[in-house]
Structure formats: C-alpha cells, structure tokens
Chains A and B, each alone.
Chain A
Amino acid sequence: AQSVTQPDIHITVSEGASLELRCNYSYGATPYLFWYVQSPGQGLQLLLKYFSGDTLVQGIKGFEAEFKRSQSSFNLRKPSVHWSDAAEYFCAVGSAAGTALIFGKGTTLSVSS
C-alpha cells in the first residue's frame, strides 16, 4: 500500500538551531516528492519538490531536502531556524499528473527563543 510516514508528530527547536524533519514513503512507482508548509489558519504552501536528478533539492525560505532512494526517505532540513518557521509541515508523494498526492500526517514545528 502507498503511504507516507512522518515519525515525529511534534518537534521543538531553539531559534538559530538546525532542523531536520523526517519523511519515509512506501510507493510502487518512481515517486515525485513534495514538502508543504501550513501556517495556522492558512492553506498549504509548496516548499520544495523532487522529480529526478540531483538528490539534494533547494526550496523556498532556506529549506532543502535530500532524496535517498535506498532508505525511501525525503528529509527536510534547514541550517538555522527562525521563529517564523513555526508551522505544520507535510510530506507528500505522487507519481503522475492528475493523480492524488499521498500525504503524511504532518509534523508540527515549535520554535523556542
């Protein structure tokens, strides 16, 4: 069955510290991978995407993610977290245009001062 697992429901990071959010997937086809961010009361904003090629992809707001096929992972990273990064983060997997994305259950990021 196709699935996305985000093992951490809630993470707290100090402002200025580094961040890594984990994402593992189970998918039959070659996956397209996405990270979305959702601020409270807002819609989902696309942070970054991976289709093929270079396994380290850069996104908006200083985020990056690395695709590791052998581990079926697509972890999100940021070297220095800002208070404005506090939000919920969703990993999603897809395979072709016109098909549903499969979402993880999300990780809530809190940033402490």
Chain B
Amino acid sequence: DAGITQSPRHKVTETGTPVTLRCHQTENHRYMYWYRQDPGHGLRLIHYSYGVKDTDKGEVSDGYSVSRSKTEDFLLTLESATSSQTSVYFCAHEDSGSRNEQFFGPGTRLTVL
C-alpha cells in the first residue's frame, strides 16, 4: 500500500460530459501528480501540485484542470470529456525530501464514448 487511493477505479462517460477524478493520500506529502498512461506512450504528466492551491501544467494539460484545497486531496477535472481522453489515469505523491521518488495509486480507467 503506497498510502494513496483513487476514485472511481473505473468510469464510462459520454463525450461532452464533465468528469472529476479524485486522488487521496494519507502521507501528508507535499507533491502530487496526475499522469495518463496510453499504449505506446508510457506515462505522461498532466498536472502537478507543489502545495495546497499551488499547481502547474505538465506535458499534456490541454482539456484538464486540477485543484488541491487540502494536502491530502488532488482532483483532476475534465471539463468536457472527449474520446481522446480515454485513458488510464494515475495519481502519484512524493515527499519533499525524497529526491523525486514517487509512489503511485492504483489508477482510474476512464472510457469516453
């Protein structure tokens, strides 16, 4: 157990609907990340957070927004889901003194029809 959970674990939605994925950590770690995993691409960073209300964009941030109102929760929102956002989404957390060692949640499989 990496001290991190994601919900929901699976979701099917339709194009144009809003979707929010939740990441919850119990380690009080400063840094949190959202990645997406697609076949042939490995993991790519969507957004990350370096503290409460402090977030920044990653490599593939278009169409996504995030919020972090508490240390333990990091939300990823797709304002209007598209089929290209069908993917597996992973959240990760990292302690401030860890030298970039990240621990991952179990993932959320999102299908946009």
Contact = CB atoms under 8 A, between A and B. Distances in A.
How many residues of A sit at the interface, in one of the four size bands? 20 to 34
B41 A105 contact: yes
Contacts of A104: 42
A15 to B, nearest CB: 26
Interface in A67-113: 90, 92, 94-101, 103-106
Contacts, number: 66
Contacts of A34: 101
B98 to A, nearest CB: 6
A97 B90 contact: no
Given A36-B104, A97-B98, A101-B102, 5 more contacts: A32-B100, A44-B43, A98-B96, A100-B33, A101-B100
Interface of A: 4, 32, 34, 36, 42-46, 49, 51, 90, 92, 94-101, 103-106
